[in-house]
């Protein structure tokens, strides 16, 4: 994956990512052979505004048990995620809001995701157990203990429109680009990432899991796109045009104290703090005066 910018005066990638890099480093460092993409990038169109998809990955973990409840009751997940463990752990799984509108949700520290992986790996045999342990050891060697203990950063959105999910060394890493095609039209681009050096059985299962769950043919993506389209459609009616969205859930409470040394603003995963973080940054950019020159100068003007 290559990041580029047509504006020679734009901030550097490091500046733009800020603390998001601290979290993405875990996803990238855990891969023994680096991330490899399964051939066949998917594209599909939907009648939705791109921001609804971005904010979903930035902060909406609370939709899981409602929108995807039927999926969790089916025996179709070849590799079970730690997601159902969210229940009853509202103060252990975090939303983490970052500068520049980036956000992560469903993040847990202290090795919980690693323990889930180890248990799951046993069902595949010694080669997969060894693989999971090696992934963990790579993180311990490369990163401070709190960072390594996160193991996988869960859901995240790189502002404005590139989302990821990564729960496990035994599951696919999803990359999702939400490309605006108009106020109510969106094109989704999906890629399925795997560790190049993962055991073949895990690479095969990750491909099937992605196809069944979060790809265009997958049950979760179809649940989500139905939400994205219906939320967008609801804004087009007479009443919808008069009312604002309500993003108050658990907003206004004191922020949580995250683990020492972990960057960002921590709140319970059942909250809309990250959605507000996303939209505040978007509004800041949209409302700032356009100088006709570089984005960097425009941002500087907005912060004055
Ligand atoms: Fe979803």
What's the 221 CA to ligand 1 centre distance in angstroms?
A: 7
What's the 20 CA to ligand 1 centre distance in angstroms?
A: 21
Tokens of 61: 């973990």
User: What pLDDT is stored for residue 62 in this prediction?
Assistant: 86
The answer on pLDDT for 293 being more than 60 is no
User: What pLDDT is stored for residue 37 in this prediction?
Assistant: 97
User: What pLDDT is stored for residue 301 in this prediction?
Assistant: 42
Q: What is the pLDDT of residues 148-157, one digit of tens each?
A: 999 999 999 9
What's the 111 CA to ligand 1 centre distance in angstroms?
A: 24
What's the 104 CA to ligand 1 centre distance in angstroms?
A: 14
What's the 143 CA to ligand 1 centre distance in angstroms?
A: 30
What's the 198 CA to ligand 1 centre distance in angstroms?
A: 26
Calculate mean pLDDT across residues 182-189: 95
CATH number of 13-303: 3.90.380.10
Please state whether the peptide bond connecting residue 230 to the residue before it is cis, i.e. omega within 30 degrees of 0.
no
What's the 218 CA to ligand 1 centre distance in angstroms?
A: 11
What's the 260 CA to ligand 1 centre distance in angstroms?
A: 30
What's the 63 CA to ligand 1 centre distance in angstroms?
A: 7
What's the 224 CA to ligand 1 centre distance in angstroms?
A: 5
Question: Distance between CA atoms of 250 and 237, rounded to whole angstroms?
Answer: 28
Tokens of 128: 């997969």
User: What pLDDT is stored for residue 87 in this prediction?
Assistant: 67
The answer on pLDDT for 252 being more than 90 is no
Measure Cα distances from 185 to 51, 58, 159, 180 in Å: 11, 20, 19, 6
What's the 184 CA to ligand 1 centre distance in angstroms?
A: 19
Q: What does the domain layout of the chain look like in residue ranges?
A: 13-303
pLDDT bracket for residue 135 (50, 70, 90): very high
Question: Distance between CA atoms of 227 and 53, rounded to whole angstroms?
Answer: 9
What's the 217 CA to ligand 1 centre distance in angstroms?
A: 14
What's the 220 CA to ligand 1 centre distance in angstroms?
A: 6
Asked which of 19-28, 68-77, 217-226, 227-236 is least confident by mean pLDDT, the reply is: 68-77
What's the 246 CA to ligand 1 centre distance in angstroms?
A: 19
The answer on pLDDT for 80 being more than 60 is no
What's the 145 CA to ligand 1 centre distance in angstroms?
A: 30
CB 297 within 8 A of CB 118: no
- Per the prediction, the chain carries an average pLDDT of 90
Calculate mean pLDDT across residues 170-175: 95
């Amino acid at each position: 994956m290559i990041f580029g910018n047509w504006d020679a005066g734009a901030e550097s990638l490091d500046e733009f990512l800020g603390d998001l890099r601290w979290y993405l480093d875990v996803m990238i460092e855990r891969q023994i052979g680096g991330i490899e993409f399964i051939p066949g990038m998917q594209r599909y169109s939907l009648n939705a505004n791109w921001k609804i998809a971005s904010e979903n990955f930035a902060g909406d973990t609370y939709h899981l048990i409602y929108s995807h409840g039927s999926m969790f009751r089916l025996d179709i997940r070849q590799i079970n995620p730690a997601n159902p463990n969210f229940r009853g752990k509202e103060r252990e799984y975090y939303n983490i809001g970052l500068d520049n509108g980036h956000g992560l949700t469903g993040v847990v520290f202290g090795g919980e995701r690693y323990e889930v992986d180890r248990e799951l790996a046993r069902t595949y045999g010694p080669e997969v157990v060894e693989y999971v342990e090696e992934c963990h050891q790579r993180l311990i060697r490369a990163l401070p203990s709190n960072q390594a203990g996160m193991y996988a950063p869960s859901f995240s959105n790189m502002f404005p429109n590139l989302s990821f999910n990564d729960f496990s060394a035994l599951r696919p890493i999803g990359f999702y680009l939400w490309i605006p095609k108009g106020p109510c039209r969106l094109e989704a681009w999906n890629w399925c990432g795997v560790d190049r050096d993962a055991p073949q059985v895990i690479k095969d299962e990750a491909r099937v899991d992605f196809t069944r769950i979060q790809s265009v043919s997958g049950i979760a993506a179809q649940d989500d796109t139905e939400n994205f389209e219906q939320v967008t459609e609801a804004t087009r009616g007479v009443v919808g045009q008069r009312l604002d969205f309500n993003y108050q859930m658990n907003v206004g409470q004191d922020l949580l104290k995250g683990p020492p040394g972990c960057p960002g603003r921590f709140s319970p995963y059942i909250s809309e703090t990250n959605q507000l973080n996303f939209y505040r940054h978007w509004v800041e950019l949209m409302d700032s005066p356009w100088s006709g020159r570089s984005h960097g100068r425009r941002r500087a003007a907005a912060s004055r």
